[in-house]
């Protein structure tokens, strides 16, 4: 979308927050000078309060009063980061939109690099983590495993070590807003829409304050959401598993028949029977569980509930 004549192009920073009171002031102190330094460009900071139970909202509202560039979208409850990110993208009015985390693990000084590549004509500029030294060894290993598994089964691969931090042009944002699903895996949606893409590399830092809201259980569920959102291989694999089990049963039955004809009947062992029963029973239950994950997604999508509900918006909306 071309800017209106006489209007400077607008860059929107979209920031989901949930109980980030320890980081709010440090975030604005770090990000504001960077955005002010974007010459010939205007900016806005769209903060989405995702049902915080501390005084995050109060601090955000105070910043929206003090700075006309800050707008706060207060959701009615905690809908999760993917929904909060969607709310911010929907609210953003910029010619370019940049999702960003308030914990400052993604350095703000990378933003001008993203903007520069956008001005060169790219629609999507990914921020790729060259090193993740600030993350624990376990988190680095599980992240690598997730990207490999996801790209192996997905019809829409995502770049390794690319998070939500990126720049998207207005055309990309408008395409994202056309996607109707309620259960949203944003990294997959970002990749699915396509467009002309490049990347810049950066080194991720440690959190400025507070603690990560993603426990091991929430990370597991998030990974499961991603693995079932953009591929049906987890469903198809049980067709192959069932075929292999059936063929193995036929081969084994033929073996037992021949052995009985040649050597006579023997007494079957309890251990072999119980092992086969438990193995096949477990295999069936896992298969049913995978099918259940997909059926659950269908059930959720069929209800067509809104992705989020906005309680109130604070601050002046950009023109």
pLDDT, tens only, 17-56 = 888 888 888 888 888 888 888 877 888 999 999 888 888 8
According to the model, what pLDDT value does residue 3 have? 53
Give the count of domains, the chain.
2
Query: Is there a single domain that holds both residue 194 and residue 269?
Result: no
Is residue 149 located within the same domain as residue 66? yes
Indicate whether 276 and 163 sit together in one domain. no
Q: Which of 106-120, 141-155, 216-230, 278-292 has the largest mean confidence?
A: 106-120
pLDDT at 216 over 80: no
In a domain, 138, yes or no: yes
Answer for the pair 78, 16: CB distance below 8 angstroms, yes or no.
no
Regarding whether 201 and 135 lie in a shared domain, the answer is: yes
**CA–CA dist 116, 64 (Å, integer):** 27
CA distance 62 to 174: 30
pLDDT of the residue at 164: 80
- Any domain includes 4: no
Is position 226 within any domain? Answer: no
pLDDT of residue 4: 53
Higher pLDDT, 134 or 191: 191
Give the whole-angstrom CA distance, residue 268 versus residue 260: 12
Distance in angstroms (rounded) separating the CA atoms of residues 182 and 180: 7
Q: Is residue 244 part of a domain?
A: yes
Q: Would you place residue 319 in the very low, low, confident or very high pLDDT band (cuts 50, 70, 90)? A: very low
Report pLDDT for 228.
60
Average per-residue pLDDT for the chain: 77
pLDDT at 137: 61
Regarding whether 211 and 240 lie in a shared domain, the answer is: no
- pLDDT surpasses 60 at 74: yes
Q: What domain range is 254 assigned to? A: 233-303
318 Cβ neighbours under 8 A, 6+ residues apart: 10, 12, 42, 44, 71, 93, 94
Structure tokens at 299: 């059930």
* pTM of the predicted model over 0.85: no
Indicate whether 128 and 241 sit together in one domain: no
Which CATH number belongs to the domain containing residue 165 in this structure?
A: 3.90.550.10
Decide if 127 is inside a domain. yes
- Residue 15 falls inside a structural domain: yes
Least confident of 64-68, 218-222, 299-303: 218-222
| Same-domain check for residues 58 and 195 | yes
Residue 6 has a pLDDT of: 55
Q: Are residues 199 and 60 in the same domain?
A: yes
pLDDT of residue 48: 92
Whether residue 86 is found in the same domain as residue 184: yes
More confidently predicted of 207 and 142: 142
Same domain, 92 and 16: yes
Q: Do residue 61 and residue 178 come from a single domain? A: yes
CB under 8 Å to 90, separation ≥6 — which residues? 177
CA 156 to chain centre: 14
Which residue did the predictor score with more confidence, 236 or 209? 236
Token couple for 255: 């073996």
Looking at the fold, whether 68 and 55 belong to one and the same domain comes out as: yes
Whole-number pLDDT of residue 213: 52
* Model confidence band, residue 165 (pLDDT cutoffs 50, 70, 90): confident
Q: Which residue has the higher pLDDT, 205 or 244?
A: 244
């Amino acid at each position: 979308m071309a800017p209106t004549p006489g209007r400077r192009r607008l860059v929107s920073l979209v920031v989901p927050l949930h109980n980030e009171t320890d980081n709010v002031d440090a975030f604005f102190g770090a990000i504001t000078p960077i955005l002010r330094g974007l010459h010939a460009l205007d900016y806005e900071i769209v903060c989405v309060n995702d049902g915080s139970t501390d005084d995050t909202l109060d601090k955000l509202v105070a910043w929206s009063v003090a700075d006309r560039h800050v707008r706060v979208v207060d959701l009615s409850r905690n809908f999760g980061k993917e929904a909060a990110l969607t709310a911010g993208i929907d609210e953003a009015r910029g010619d370019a939109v940049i999702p960003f985390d308030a914990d400052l693990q993604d350095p703000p000084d990378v933003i001008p690099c993203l903007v520069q590549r956008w001005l060169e004509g790219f629609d999507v500029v990914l921020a790729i983590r060259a090193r993740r030294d600030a993350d624990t060894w376990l988190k680095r290993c599980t992240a690598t495993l997730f990207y490999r598994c996801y790209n192996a089964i997905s019809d829409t691969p995502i770049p390794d070590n690319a998070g939500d931090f990126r720049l998207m042009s207005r055309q990309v944002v408008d395409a994202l807003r056309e996607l109707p699903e309620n259960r949203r895996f944003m990294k997959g949606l970002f990749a699915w829409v396509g467009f002309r893409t490049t990347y810049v590399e950066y080194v991720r830092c440690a959190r400025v304050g507070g603690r990560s809201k993603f426990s091991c259980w929430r990370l597991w569920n998030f990974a499961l959401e991603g693995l079932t959102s953009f591929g049906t291989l987890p469903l198809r694999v049980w067709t192959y598993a069932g075929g292999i089990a059936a063929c193995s049963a036929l081969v084994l039955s033929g073996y037992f028949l021949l052995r009985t004809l040649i050597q006579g009947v023997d007494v079957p062992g309890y251990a072999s029977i119980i092992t086969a029963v438990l193995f096949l029973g477990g295999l069936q239950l896992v298969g049913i569980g995978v099918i259940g994950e997909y059926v659950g997604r269908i059930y959720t999508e069929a209800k067509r509930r809104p992705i989020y509900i906005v309680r109130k918006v604070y601050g002046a909306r950009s023109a």
